[in-house]
């Protein structure tokens, strides 16, 4: 409170690791949270920090804004949290420190915004993103961290408090190790993406020595889909057409594909990545018609665009824009209110044009 609002371009550390570690060690009842709809890094960061501080005899509370993916609950310590219900900004405890991990942007914290705004004077942000606008009292940002879990480990490593009576004083156990590993794996695509650095592997090695079971985690996180999803994938792939001389792939899912396979719209996630295994493919488009619910149609047609990086990369935001969509250079989307066949025709023509030299 009373702080200057943070400028999106001025999102840097306001304290060093030692100060952040001391602030954490001094807190007795910290609330630890992250952005709404937590991903693996967000979830792992919160669980690891809460568990680590509990191992030191503190009373941390992990709080998530829903939805939390169901397979996260199966992880070690993965059910030790409170769900935040918007509109009931009353939690059964009053924290002496609010820790926000893996984001510092109000846009990602909207359900808890009012709650956090009342406690900004005791809010600490630990993050690896380069933009944010929450004017917290203290902030530690390491933009080189491949995952927020890397930064969390750096902070935990700096905490050297006397253990509370009856506590071993050891922060790390298998639960902390697995939670941190989940974050590393999530944000690096299991150590494939360019953000992966030597420190990422150093930390991963430490976590394996602490008992993190990477093969079991892979199974828990990546191999728990429903058979309905695979049936829908079969349909998506059998609809695949290569256009623009093999430089683009287009897949189409119809409302009846969802109805007949009993798969859900959210189960199409990552289908759009599959055709990128073909060397010549630069752009992938997935067009899906939401299933009808009752008498009504399922709403606008959803179009997802992806492109491969490289010197001749196609900026897919430019493809999505004319259709009222947006996104990032490598991943974009649009919702188009028109009959499916028309959408397929118009989008395919736009992709052809973008990939035609000299056009």
Cβ atoms of 258 and 290 within 8 Å: the answer is yes
Which of 150, 187, 257, 267 is close enough to bind Mn ion by CB under 5 A? Answer: 187
Q: How many residues bind Mn ion (CB under 5 A)?
A: 4
Q: Which of residues 35-54 bind Mn ion (CB under 5 A)?
A: 41
- Closest approach, Cβ 263 to Mn ion, in A, equals 28
Which residue's CB is nearer to Mn ion, number 41 or number 178?
41
Cβ nearer to Mn ion, comparing 41 with 257: 41
Q: Identify the residue whose tokens are 């009504």.
A: 296
Residue 75 within binding range of Mn ion, rule CB under 5 A = no
Among 102, 154, 257, 289, binds Mn ion (CB under 5 A): 102
Q: Which residue is nearest to Mn ion (CB)?
A: 41
- Binding track, positions 271-310, relative to Mn ion; x by CB under 5 A: ----------------------------------------
Q: How far is the CB of 34 from Mn ion (least distance, A)?
A: 9
Sign of CA dihedral 312, 131, 128, 83: negative
Helix or strand run (H / E) with residue 124: strand 123-127
CA 145 to chain centre: 15
Contact by Cβ (8 Å): 290, 299: yes
Measured from the CB atom, is 178 or 187 closer to Mn ion?
187
Supply the minimum distance, in Å, between the C-beta of residue 147 and Mn ion: 5
Q: Could you give the angle at which helices 174-188 and 40-55 cross, rounded to 10 degrees?
A: 160
First to last CA, the chain: 54
Cα separation values, 321 from 89, 116, 301, 347, Å: 38, 35, 15, 11
> Applying CB under 5 A, which residues contact Mn ion?
41, 102, 148, 187
């Amino acid at each position: 409170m009373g702080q200057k609002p943070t400028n999106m371009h001025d999102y840097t550390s306001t304290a060093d690791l030692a100060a952040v570690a001391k602030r954490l060690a001094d807190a007795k009842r910290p609330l630890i949270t992250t952005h709404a709809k937590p991903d693996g890094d967000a979830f792992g960061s919160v669980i690891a920090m809460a568990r680590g501080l509990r191992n030191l005899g503190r009373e941390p509370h992990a709080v998530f804004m829903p939805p939390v993916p169901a397979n996260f609950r199966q992880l070690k310590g993965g059910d030790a949290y409170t769900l935040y219900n918007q509109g009931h900004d009353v939690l059964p405890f009053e924290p002496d420190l609010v820790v926000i991990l893996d984001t510092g942007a109000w846009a990602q914290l909207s359900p808890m915004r009012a709650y956090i705004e009342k406690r900004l004077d005791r809010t600490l942000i630990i993050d690896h993103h380069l933009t944010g606008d929450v004017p917290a009292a203290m902030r530690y940002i390491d933009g080189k961290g491949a995952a927020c879990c890397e930064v969390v480990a750096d902070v935990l490593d700096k905490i050297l408090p006397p253990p509370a009576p009856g506590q071993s004083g050891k922060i790390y156990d298998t639960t902390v190790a697995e939670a941190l590993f989940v974050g590393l794996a999530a944000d690096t695509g299991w150590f494939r993406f360019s953000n992966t650095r030597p420190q990422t592997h150093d930390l991963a090695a430490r976590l394996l020595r602490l008992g993190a079971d990477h093969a079991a985690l892979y199974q828990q996180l990546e191999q728990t889909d429903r058979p309905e999803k695979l049936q829908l994938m079969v349909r998506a792939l059998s609809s695949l057409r290569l256009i623009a001389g093999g430089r683009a792939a287009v897949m189409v899912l119809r409302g009846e594909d969802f109805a007949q396979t009993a798969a859900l719209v959210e189960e199409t996630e990552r289908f759009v990545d599959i055709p990128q295994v073909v060397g010549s493919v630069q752009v992938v488009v997935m067009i899906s018609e939401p299933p009808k619910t009752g008498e009504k149609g399922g709403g606008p047609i959803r179009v997802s665009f992806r492109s491969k990086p490289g010197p001749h990369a196609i900026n897919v935001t430019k493809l999505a824009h004319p259709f009222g969509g947006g996104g990032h250079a490598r991943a974009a989307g649009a919702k188009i209110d028109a009959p499916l066949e028309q959408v397929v025709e118009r989008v395919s023509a736009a992709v052809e044009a973008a990939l035609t030299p000299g056009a």
